[in-house]
Every structure is written in structure tokens, then in C-alpha cells.
Structure 1
Amino acid sequence: MTIERINVDVFRAPVTRPVATSFGVMRDRPAVFVRIEDSDGAFGWGEIFANWPSAGAEHRARLLLEDIADLVLGRGVGAPGELWAGLTRETHVRALQCGEWGPFRQVIAGLDIAAHDLLARRAGVPLAKMLAPGGAAESVPVYASGLHVSAATDAIAAAREAGVRAFKVKIGFDAMRDMADLRMLCADLGEGEGLMADANQAWTLSEALRFVETAGDLGLGWLEEPIGADAPADAWHTLAQASSIPLAAGENIVGHADFTRAVQGGALAVVQPDVAKWGGVGGCIGVAREALEAGLNYCPHFLGGGIGLAASAHLLAAAGGPGMLELDANDNPLRDAFFAQGPAARGDFVIGARPGLGIEALPEEIARYRTLSRETAKG
């Protein structure tokens, strides 16, 4: 069967409290959802990364419609991963011409998610089961993330009430205040609870070294992206050797070769590819299995809408291991509307028995946030 139709919908939901990171502030919640349909009427849903920059959502939608769709329409979905590999190869010169490697990778990742959803639907099984026919987890534990370290107390309390036992806070703002807030949050943890910290690439190596020396007694579960994802391997090794806190990264690593170097390099304890930023389902399941085989922890990164969250959960369920699913604790109707009982019940994301990602259509309640809706079809 060939792909006959592509639908792209862009949404922007206003928020009362912006999401602050060390590199900038998200003042609304965007999402780009893509639906592909084949000549037999089978369909699949995907999501394209759109958190950054602020104009990214509309740009990526138009990139798909005006620069990539001609390579998609009329081609077969094929075996899992074929669409991603073909589009990556065929768009190389286009991405090189404009230097927009990230947007091209993100659009292709969203299409790969949709292709895997379609194939699992045709097989009549959940995506996790298609990826791991020998057995996939029925649910995966979540941890609450996206919390500014200075304003995390109430959000952690709410997550705790929902059964969540691990929490990740954003740091990299003011060193002294960050440390004071971390100490307070750690002191308030209950039995069996854990706290992680994410610097979002805020520091130089020397700044990161000062942090791990000062925070070494806190018992943090991991320290995420303390330095740039593109920092030299020697810098990551130096930091890992000096740190008693496990290091985590992956959302800003791209390519099989770079992930293999990261997995085998010895600096990381936690590997975190983002299904909507690079690789889609096919690329990320390979990274997950490689990380687990190397004795590392696989915890998929995600901070977007409901489709990408579901894809991340199915990936984790298929990969196995002790990893947790990232669940942004900030308000996001473009995520929550997809899950009637909320995205997590008693601290777990339940995979369910519905085929594919288990998503039939976009929820009606998010229609008011739509900023763009386009369809393009073969012929």
C-alpha cells in the first residue's frame, strides 16, 4: 500500500505559568500532529517536535507540507524504519542547502511515528507489542518533570498525591539559590522517592565540576545535560570521573553513530533520546536496546503533546529495563486531552490493548487551540 494523504495540524495552547529553562522561556504550549493514510484507508498518527524556537511549530508544519510531502506521497510504508531511512537519505541535500538539520530530522521523526502507528494498526496490536512481540510491559512508571527548582514544592506535592515517586527539577539559573532549593527539596523527599536535576546545557565544564562537588551529598538520581551535548568527549569524561551523581543526556544527540559513541563512551549512566526530535520510533528503539545492552538506563525524553507521549511510553514498554517515562508536570491540554483518565494512573502510564498508539482521532476539546490545518494528497 502507498501513502495517499497527509494531514498536519498545528496547535498553540496558552498557559498561565510559562515554562522556564536555563536557555529560555516557553510562553505557550505548541504541538504539531501529523496523520498519514494509505491507499487501503489505514492511518497512523505522529508528532513533530515543536517546543523551540517559539515559531517552530508553524515552520515545521510548512516544511513537511511544502518541502517533504512530495517525497512521501505515493511511496509505500514498507517495513518498520524504511520510511525514516529513505527520507533521511533523500532530504540530505535539502537540509544541507539550508542548514536546517534539526527541523528536517524532526519532521521525519514525526512521520516515522505515524508510519509505525499505521503498521501496528494494520497488525491489530499495540505498538509496544509490535516492537517486542516476545513481551512488552503493560505499564511504565512515570516521573514528574519540567519543574523550576524554585517553584517545585507544590507541583511535587501534587505529583506525589497522584502516585508519582520521582521528580526532576530544572536548574542552571542562580547557582547559590539553585543549591539551596535542591537541598530543601531533597530533605523533603519521602521513603522510596527520588529527585533528579536538569541544567539544560547551562554550564561550562568548570561550572559543572563545581556543582557536582557541592551537590555530591544530595543523592540525586541523575544530573541531566550539565554541559553542552556537543561538548568534547573529554569534557564529559572529566565530569563523569569527578561526579558521584550519574550523568544523563540524549535529547540533543542525533544519529546512530553519535548515540553509539555516547553509549560506549563511559560518561553517561542514563540515555534519553527524544522520539519527536530524531529517529522516530525506529531510531529510538535501537538506541534503547543498545543502551540497555551496555548496562545503561533508558529513559525517553519528551516534553510535548499526547501523541509523542504515547509513542515514548510504547517505546519504553517495548525496550524494558528500569527506565521511567518523562511526564511534564506543567499544564498542557494538548497532552492531557488525549487521555480520559489522565496520562498516568497511580504513577504509571498504562499501555492498553488498542492497536497502534491507541489514538483514533484528535480530541475535540483541543480544536480551539488550532492555528493551522492542512491536507495534501497524492495527485
Structure 2
Amino acid sequence: MPTPTIEHVEVFCHRVPISAPVSTSFGIMTSRPGVFVRLTDSDGAFGWGEIFANWPAAGAEHRARLLIEDISDLVLGQRPEAPGDLWHHLDRATRIRALQCGEWGPFAHVLAGLDTAMHDMDARRAGLALWRHLAADGDAPGPARVPAYASGIHVADGTRTLPRERARGHRAFKVKIGFDASEPALLETLCGMLEPGESLMTDANQAWTLDEALAFGEATAGLPLRWLEEPIAADSPDEHWQRLSRAIPHPLAAGENIAGAADFAAATASGTLAVIQPDVAKWGGVTGCLIAGRAAVAAGHSYCPHFLGGGIGLLASAHLLAAVGGPGALEMDVNPNPLRDAFPGADPVPVEGAVALSDAPGLGIEALPPEIARYRTLALSRSRSQAGT
């Protein structure tokens, strides 16, 4: 039988106002956006993906229009033999378009969401959960359980949030830092609250210069931090990262702001990062992150998928981690987000620091939850007949 063609592209934007902003060292989120994409082929099979849209504030609606008005003509009518074929095709076909407007990031985000949708469709067609479909033998034992950690915690809120998340079942916690000079003392307090078997990680969100990062490392040298994430800008010279890895006693982590197979390969080979953190909604989708994750684990690093968005991307991250394996952990944002929690399986209760994955086909998502319809800001679609292909 001929391979089915992609016949329909749909994208749905949502935005949830929040009473407690989510703070990072570089800015504050005053709403939680979500961009979800659905692909349907000529056999009626479908798949769901998620497109990164946390930044800038108007990014969600922009990416939806970018998909429908600038990229869908390259999607509709395609006959991918394997789910990753579409991503490789689009990566080549959109290069000049992205170059022309200087929007490498938004193009990569859209392609990532499309790739996840293709993998969801492929696994659904096979009748397998995505993590099983990605596993090398295809019949790994289940149900899968993956280690997880509580994330999105402002360091100043740690003394209140850590006990709450421990009660929920978490045994690892990541706090956001990079705000002021009081943080070494706050971290010492939080480390003193840890119980046996628990760990604390930190994320500076690219807050510091090299000298500031070195000073932080010196001030916290005696603390048992599991890792220090993005202490300097992700695109800092490699010699800066090398110097940090030699001088700071804490393992370094990064990856959410790395894009491109060559850059991930270089980051893995350099030896400066102990933890590699690609984001399935920002670059590569399932195809790219699977390659980066497996390469990281093979090189002796931890693969810990970064994610701070809606339910589809979180589920895709969990399935990727289950398929890749290794000593990684799933990032679970603990801030309220209906665009995550309304999805079946996307708000799991950790048991001793690990969460279980569903064995439902694909990502286990049939449709967008009706509870999030009131947050919708935009819905666009395009079919093959409209595209004239």
C-alpha cells in the first residue's frame, strides 16, 4: 500500500492568566501559554505535538501563524516513510526562510511540534505507547516508571515548597536562582532540609558572567548540589564552560538553549556538561531529542529532558526519557498550569520520586481536554485541498 499523505494541519493556541507570576533571572511569565498541533493523514490517522511558546509574551500566536501561513505548504501532501523523515525534510526546506527573517528559534519550535505529532501518529498506528515504540526492542517490559524532580521553584520559596512537594512524593527538587546575593545562604538552608536519598538542583537561567558564576561556585563549594544549570549564557565560548567545569565543584547542566545536531554533539563531546537537557518543544522534537539523549547516555552523561509547558510536551518528554534510559530524571514544573494538568497522565503523582507512564497508544491523547477550551485564543487549520497540493 502507498504511504499515506499528510492531509490536514491544525494548531490551537491557549493562554492562561496566572495570579502568581513564574519568575526567572531574565524575566517573568504573567500567563501560561500552550500551542498544540494536530496532524491528520489520508488514512484518518492523527498525532499530537506541542510547540514551545513561553517566550516572548506574544510567542504563542506568532508560532501558530508561522506554522499555518509559512510552513504548512511544506507539510501537506508529504509521504514520510518514517516519522523523522518530515523533520529532516522541513529542517532543510525551511533553512532559507528562517535565514531570511532571522527567526531560527520559532522555525525550530514549530518543526519540533510537528515531529512529535508524527511520532505520536506512528506509535498510535502501531498500537504501542510512544516509549515502547521508541525502545530498541519494541517490547520493553512495563509499565514504564521514570525518575522525576520538582521544578520551577523560586529559591526564596524553597522552605515552603520543598515540604509540600516531598509530601506529594518528590525526592528531588530544582530551585531557580540568579536573582540576588542572598542565594548561597538560602541554598545552605535548603540543603539542610533534605532527607536521606533526596537531592537539590539549581538553575540560574543564564544569569551570570563568567566571574559571577565562579564566585557563586566558590560561595557554595561545600553544598551538595546535584547540578548547576545554565550559570552563564548558553552561547558563551567553550573556554568559559571549560573553565567553569574545572573550577566549580558542582556538575554543570545545559541543553534547553542548544539547537542543532552538531551543537549537541559538540556539547556532549566537550565533557563540560554532566547533564544534557534538550527540550522536545524547542528543537528536534522526538527525532532530535532521541538522538541527543542516546548520545549523551552513551558518553556517560545524564539525559534529563527540559520542559516547562503544557501536557503534550511533558508526556513526550517522559516517553523520551523512558526510551533513552540512563541516570536521568523528568522535569515536573510544580506551578499551577491547567494546560498541563488537564491532559490525562500529565499530572502524575510521584511515588518515591518516580512517575508511571501509560501504555495507551502514542502519547495517550485522543483530543484536547474540554476544560482548556475557555483559554483558547486562536485556532487555525489548513488542508491539502486548500494548499492546492
Please give the TM-score of this superposition, normalised by the length of structure 2.
0.95
1:335 matched residue in structure 2: 340
**Counterpart check, 1:61 vs 2:64:** yes
1:361 Cα deviation from its structure 2 partner: 0.7
Please say if residues 155 and 329 of structure 1, whose CA atoms lie closer than 8 Å, have aligned partners that are also in contact.
Answer: no
1:154 Cα deviation from its structure 2 partner: 2.1
The answer to which of 60-69 and 75-84 deviates more is 75-84
1:211 matched residue in structure 2: 216
Structure 1 residues 209-288: aligned runs within 5 Å? 209-288=214-293
1:152 Cα deviation from its structure 2 partner: 2.1
1:243 Cα deviation from its structure 2 partner: 1.2
Structure 1 residues 186-205: aligned runs within 5 Å? 186-205=191-210
Q: What whole-Å deviation, never above 9, does each CA across 1:309-350 have from its counterpart, x for those lacking one?
A: 000000000001111000001010100001368333424332
1:149 matched residue in structure 2: 155
Aligned partners of 2:147, 2:17: CA distance in 1, in Å? 28
Q: Percent identity?
A: 62
Please say if residues 340 and 347 of structure 2, whose CA atoms lie closer than 8 Å, have aligned partners that are also in contact.
Answer: no
1:364 matched residue in structure 2: 370
Which amino acid in the other structure matches residue 370 of structure 2? E
1:139 Cα deviation from its structure 2 partner: 1.3
Aligned partners of 1:341, 1:310: CA distance in 2, in Å? 6
1:319 matched residue in structure 2: 324
Which amino acid in the other structure matches residue 149 of structure 1? V
Please say if residues 145 and 357 of structure 2, whose CA atoms lie closer than 8 Å, have aligned partners that are also in contact.
Answer: yes
1:183 Cα deviation from its structure 2 partner: 1.1
Which amino acid in the other structure matches residue 150 of structure 1? A
Instruction: Tell me which of 116, 140, 144 is aligned to 2:146.
Output: 140
**Backbone CA RMSD of aligned residues:** 1.1
Which amino acid in the other structure matches residue 226 of structure 1? P
Which amino acid in the other structure matches residue 113 of structure 1? T
1:375 Cα deviation from its structure 2 partner: 1.7
Matched residues, number: 378
**Counterpart check, 1:39 vs 2:42:** yes
Please give the TM-score of this superposition, normalised by the length of structure 1.
0.98
Aligned partners of 2:41, 2:80: CA distance in 1, in Å? 8
1:168 matched residue in structure 2: 174
Which amino acid in the other structure matches residue 108 of structure 2? R
Please say if residues 50 and 57 of structure 1, whose CA atoms lie closer than 8 Å, have aligned partners that are also in contact.
Answer: yes
Aligned partners of 1:38, 1:244: CA distance in 2, in Å? 51
Aligned partners of 2:119, 2:362: CA distance in 1, in Å? 8
**Counterpart check, 1:50 vs 2:53:** yes
1:351 Cα deviation from its structure 2 partner: 1.4
1:36 Cα deviation from its structure 2 partner: 0.3
Which amino acid in the other structure matches residue 97 of structure 1? Q
Please say if residues 250 and 273 of structure 1, whose CA atoms lie closer than 8 Å, have aligned partners that are also in contact.
Answer: yes
The DSSP-based 3-state class of the residue aligned with 1:183 is: helix
Aligned partners of 2:15, 2:79: CA distance in 1, in Å? 32
Q: What whole-Å deviation, never above 9, does each CA across 1:247-303 have from its counterpart, x for those lacking one?
A: 000000011111111001011000000000000001000001100010000000000
Aligned partners of 2:345, 2:326: CA distance in 1, in Å? 27
Aligned partners of 1:154, 1:243: CA distance in 2, in Å? 28
The DSSP-based 3-state class of the residue aligned with 1:93 is: helix
Distance 1:121-1:341 versus aligned 2 partners, 3 A rule: closer
**Counterpart check, 1:352 vs 2:358:** yes
Please say if residues 311 and 346 of structure 2, whose CA atoms lie closer than 8 Å, have aligned partners that are also in contact.
Answer: no
Which amino acid in the other structure matches residue 13 of structure 2? V
1:77 Cα deviation from its structure 2 partner: 3.0
Q: What whole-Å deviation, never above 9, does each CA across 1:197-240 have from its counterpart, x for those lacking one?
A: 00000001000001111111110000000011100010000000
Aligned partners of 2:131, 2:223: CA distance in 1, in Å? 36
Q: What whole-Å deviation, never above 9, does each CA across 1:53-89 have from its counterpart, x for those lacking one?
A: 1000000000001000010011113213101000010
Aligned partners of 1:340, 1:257: CA distance in 2, in Å? 33
The DSSP-based 3-state class of the residue aligned with 1:303 is: coil
Please say if residues 136 and 318 of structure 1, whose CA atoms lie closer than 8 Å, have aligned partners that are also in contact.
Answer: no
Aligned partners of 1:315, 1:149: CA distance in 2, in Å? 28
The DSSP-based 3-state class of the residue aligned with 1:81 is: helix
Please say if residues 253 and 276 of structure 2, whose CA atoms lie closer than 8 Å, have aligned partners that are also in contact.
Answer: yes
The DSSP-based 3-state class of the residue aligned with 1:152 is: helix
Aligned partners of 2:173, 2:165: CA distance in 1, in Å? 8
